[in-house]
Structure 1
Amino acid sequence: MSTHSNHFKGIGKITYEGTKSSNPLAFRWYDENKIVAGKTMKEHLRFACAYWHSFCGNGGDPFGEPTHIFGWNDIPDAVDRAKAKMDVAFEFMAKLSLPFYCFHDVDVVDFTDDVADNEKRLQALTAYALQHQKESGIQLLWGTANLFSHRRYMNGAATNPDFQALAHGAAQVKAAMDATIALGGQNYVFWGGREGYMSLLNTNMKREQEHLARFLQVARDYARGQGFKGKFFIEPKPCEPTKHQYDYDCATVIGFLRAHDLLNDFSLNIEVNHATLAGHTFQHELQVAADAGLLGSIDANRGDYQNGWDTDQFPNNINELAEAMLIILEAGGFGGGGINFDAKIRRNSTDPEDLFHAHIGGMDTFARALLVADAILQDGEYTKIRSDRYASYDHGDGKAFEEGKLTLADLRNIAAGKGEPAVKSGRQEYLENLVNRFI
């Protein structure tokens, strides 16, 4: 079978045409070779396509049948069907000049309940993907295993009370890691879609979390033994599908990794919509990860203000992303990862062009946000206002406190001796206007 596809007829290579362009199939802001803060946009942003949403999502929902009809679904043989889908995927990614992609094992090829057969299928598609990668230059940002869709994982995988279910999860992870390594994947992700509980009445939470830690340890040890040099990412999410997931948010995950001696190998893959579901802003989660030195990668999307679930819409909020890029730039960029568009076109977006419009919009918005963030940092006022706010800790008693030289009694005497502190504005509105000024 040929590795070439012509699914997106009439759509050529998407190129940068600048902000004056009205061409909907062109970039207005994303110029991959433009140098920003010492690196090209392509190097900063490291865009990736989410294989599952773009080529597996069919538009179906709990209230209606699929609206995105894929021709390859009529091919009876699973491997041939998967190869046809992959041909279309690489055609799409090549036309967008996306440097990376990401996948779950079952996105690449349909699985059965036979472990050995699943491994054989995934190996066949791994060889096919490697051929595509060599022809296109597109690389694998990260791979992962879907340990949440099959009914055997209704109570979790690594945290399942049934050891046999855990073993099946381990088999999938081994095969997905083998594929990731064979494809030169730069990272490997764990998303605990059902690693949590619905009711504490039937849950031994301590034991389940210990099992999760052991599972991660043996998976890490296997990959390292196979020569994998990349990072392992944990992707936090607070709930949905479980009531309470053990990887609730960045702070929770960092505490878990620290408690189980996993910090040296694991970082965080942060999703926008997961942050908001946890009651945080995306910027908050980025800052928590950056402060811990664990900002690895992001899944880019957005939620809906009126819907309380993970709607996975394409990002288009320039203010939110400009503030996010400020944190990412100040942190020195991603720790091995990039920007994966974990987003899907809407149910009623049924034209082939819609997938291009979605990615072009997301890529342009991030590119513009990068330019805005760099301009703000180059201007210097933003960083000066923040540093001035903490200037009292740069000298005298404040510095002594940070250095651990003051006792509680010392602090009491300083308070009594110097009296009530002056009221100083946080200047929030001014800073918000400053960001808008650069936009």
Structure 2
Amino acid sequence: MMSDFFAEIAPIAYEGPDSRNELAYRFYDKDKVVLGKRMEDHLRFAACFWHTFCWPGSDVFGGATFNRPWHAGANDSAAAAQKREVAFEFFQKLDVPYYCFHDVDVMADAANVAEHRRFFAEAVDHLEKLQASSGRKLLWGTANAFSHPRYAAGASTNPDPEVFAFAAMQVRDALEATHRLGGQNYVLWGGREGYETLLNTDMKRELDNFGRFLNLVVEHKHKIGFTTGGFNFDAKVRRQSMDPADLFYGHVGGIDVVAKGLLSAAAIIEDGRVDAIKAKRYAGWDGDFGGTIGGLDLAGIADLAVERAIDPKPVSGQQERIENLINRFL
């Protein structure tokens, strides 16, 4: 059953730059063709699970401030399922084509390897159904190999081989799930890799293990046939932004900023003056002298400079002119 957590929020639509509706897109017109491609296809927005639905509004100075029903008790299978359904309601109403997640964002809390695999598989089955019913797609998945206390000293760089192996299990399962769900990319997010002090660190061993881990992931990617990015849109709201609508305000404003940036960039390209200034500045490399020295060794270039009695003069980089030109399009 699809969630109605955001029942009071109407689907977000494009209404144009003059719209007074604070929950409407003013610049993000997904079907507008920009430089030969639909805006949606240029930007490929994805809303994330973690800060949007997993963070309870806490920080180092205080506890949770968000009254989300899936945070009311234990993060069990029922709470995780509710969170997934609310997330897809959000993705649909925001009208972003993609979403992204860490493994633990979408599953119940697990106490061991077996539970992790079971709860994650349960979540992936549900995500597959939600994708089919909503038309949303997965931009990328990843494994959270940093938040749990076991990763205090890193994952692939951890001095304990069992931690290395636990991370390998998570990444293997997350990579395979991302491939199954049609993900366009897979992310390796090493939030706690590295070291705190050289006093207790075997640097060579850690670097070797890190390199081996990356190679193992790439080998497995090829083995399962993962051959395939976009914008991950992480519009983290403030701890006082506790109303459900605040999530929409944060995302709508951010998406419009990126869309306006795309339109401005396209206008700069189509105008052509900035590119022309840059081309003129480097034109010498495309002329006779620049082409000639491209095929000479150091001595040959030096001899040519003497032979032609070159006397190059400095020229303006015209930075202020270019800045003014760009500001015309912002």
| TM-score bracket for this pair, using the shorter chain length | over 0.9
Kindly indicate whether residue 252 of structure 2 is the aligned counterpart of residue 360 of structure 1.
yes
Letter in 1 for 2:82: A
Question: Aligned pair in 2 of structure 1 residues 415, 63: CA closer, same or farther (>3 Å)?
Answer: farther
Letter in 2 for 1:42: E
Q: Paired residue for 1:191, among 189, 192, 198?
A: 189
Question: Secondary structure of the residue that 1:349 maps to in structure 2?
Answer: coil
Question: Aligned pair in 2 of structure 1 residues 389, 92: CA closer, same or farther (>3 Å)?
Answer: same
CA deviations on 1:246-296 (whole Å, 9 max, x unpaired) are xxxxxxxxxxxxxxxxxxxxxxxxxxxxxxxxxxxxxxxxxxxxxxxxxxx
- Which moves more between the two structures, 127-136 or 381-390? 381-390
Query: 1:406 offset after TM fit, Å?
Result: 1.8
Query: In structure 2, what is the equivalent of residue 282 of structure 1?
Result: none
CA deviations on 1:49-99 (whole Å, 9 max, x unpaired) are 011010011221111111112111235461111000011100111001110
Query: In structure 2, what is the equivalent of residue 150 of structure 1?
Result: 148
Query: 1:415 offset after TM fit, Å?
Result: 4.3
Kindly indicate whether residue 264 of structure 2 is the aligned counterpart of residue 380 of structure 1.
no
Query: In structure 2, what is the equivalent of residue 413 of structure 1?
Result: 303
**Given that residues 122 and 179 in structure 1 are in contact (C-alpha distance below 8 angstroms), is that contact kept between their aligned partners in structure 2?**
no
Query: 1:226 offset after TM fit, Å?
Result: 2.1
Kindly indicate whether residue 288 of structure 2 is the aligned counterpart of residue 428 of structure 1.
no
Query: In structure 2, what is the equivalent of residue 346 of structure 1?
Result: 238
Q: Paired residue for 1:48, among 36, 46, 57?
A: 46
Question: Aligned pair in 2 of structure 1 residues 5, 394: CA closer, same or farther (>3 Å)?
Answer: same
Letter in 2 for 1:11: I
Structure 1: stretches of 5+ with no match in the other structure: 231-336
Query: In structure 2, what is the equivalent of residue 30 of structure 1?
Result: 28
Letter in 2 for 1:380: G
Q: Paired residue for 2:202, among 176, 192, 204?
A: 204
Query: In structure 1, what is the equivalent of residue 118 of structure 2?
Result: 120
Question: Secondary structure of the residue that 1:192 maps to in structure 2?
Answer: coil
Query: In structure 2, what is the equivalent of residue 390 of structure 1?
Result: 282
Q: What TM-score do you get using the length of structure 1 for normalisation?
A: 0.72
Query: In structure 1, what is the equivalent of residue 71 of structure 2?
Result: 73
Question: Aligned pair in 2 of structure 1 residues 418, 111: CA closer, same or farther (>3 Å)?
Answer: farther
CA deviations on 1:215-261 (whole Å, 9 max, x unpaired) are 1121222232223222xxxxxxxxxxxxxxxxxxxxxxxxxxxxxxx
Structure 1 CA distance for aligned equivalents of residues 320 and 240 of structure 2: 39
**Given that residues 235 and 254 in structure 2 are in contact (C-alpha distance below 8 angstroms), is that contact kept between their aligned partners in structure 1?**
no
Query: 1:414 offset after TM fit, Å?
Result: 4.2
Query: In structure 2, what is the equivalent of residue 168 of structure 1?
Result: 166
Query: 1:32 offset after TM fit, Å?
Result: 0.5
Query: 1:210 offset after TM fit, Å?
Result: 2.1
Structure 1 CA distance for aligned equivalents of residues 315 and 151 of structure 2: 53
**Given that residues 57 and 344 in structure 1 are in contact (C-alpha distance below 8 angstroms), is that contact kept between their aligned partners in structure 2?**
no
Query: In structure 1, what is the equivalent of residue 135 of structure 2?
Result: 137
Query: In structure 1, what is the equivalent of residue 221 of structure 2?
Result: 223
Query: In structure 2, what is the equivalent of residue 317 of structure 1?
Result: none
Q: How does 1:251-400 map to 2 (within 5 A)?
A: 337-400=229-292
Question: Secondary structure of the residue that 1:101 maps to in structure 2?
Answer: strand
Structure 1 CA distance for aligned equivalents of residues 281 and 202 of structure 2: 46
Structure 1 CA distance for aligned equivalents of residues 219 and 111 of structure 2: 26
* Matched-pair identity in %: 48
Structure 2 CA distance for aligned equivalents of residues 421 and 206 of structure 1: 49
Structure 1 CA distance for aligned equivalents of residues 111 and 158 of structure 2: 18
Give 4+ residue runs of structure 1 displaced > 4 Å after superposition.
414-417
Letter in 2 for 1:428: Q
CA deviations on 1:144-187 (whole Å, 9 max, x unpaired) are 00111112111111111221110111011112112212211111
Structure 1 CA distance for aligned equivalents of residues 99 and 20 of structure 2: 28
Total equivalences in the alignment:
329
Structure 1 CA distance for aligned equivalents of residues 73 and 137 of structure 2: 27
Q: What CA RMSD, in Å, does the superposition of the two structures yield over aligned residues?
A: 1.5
Structure 2: stretches of 5+ with no match in the other structure: none
Structure 1 CA distance for aligned equivalents of residues 275 and 87 of structure 2: 42
Question: Aligned pair in 2 of structure 1 residues 40, 383: CA closer, same or farther (>3 Å)?
Answer: same
Which structure is larger by alpha-carbon Rg, 1 or 2? Answer: 2
Question: Aligned pair in 2 of structure 1 residues 400, 207: CA closer, same or farther (>3 Å)?
Answer: farther
**Given that residues 72 and 84 in structure 1 are in contact (C-alpha distance below 8 angstroms), is that contact kept between their aligned partners in structure 2?**
yes
Question: Secondary structure of the residue that 2:100 maps to in structure 1?
Answer: strand
Q: How does 1:55-94 map to 2 (within 5 A)?
A: 55-76=53-74, 78-94=76-92
Question: Secondary structure of the residue that 1:112 maps to in structure 2?
Answer: coil
Question: Secondary structure of the residue that 2:46 maps to in structure 1?
Answer: strand
**Given that residues 143 and 170 in structure 2 are in contact (C-alpha distance below 8 angstroms), is that contact kept between their aligned partners in structure 1?**
yes
Q: What TM-score do you get using the length of structure 2 for normalisation?
A: 0.95
CA deviations on 1:81-128 (whole Å, 9 max, x unpaired) are 100001110011100111000100111113323111111001111111
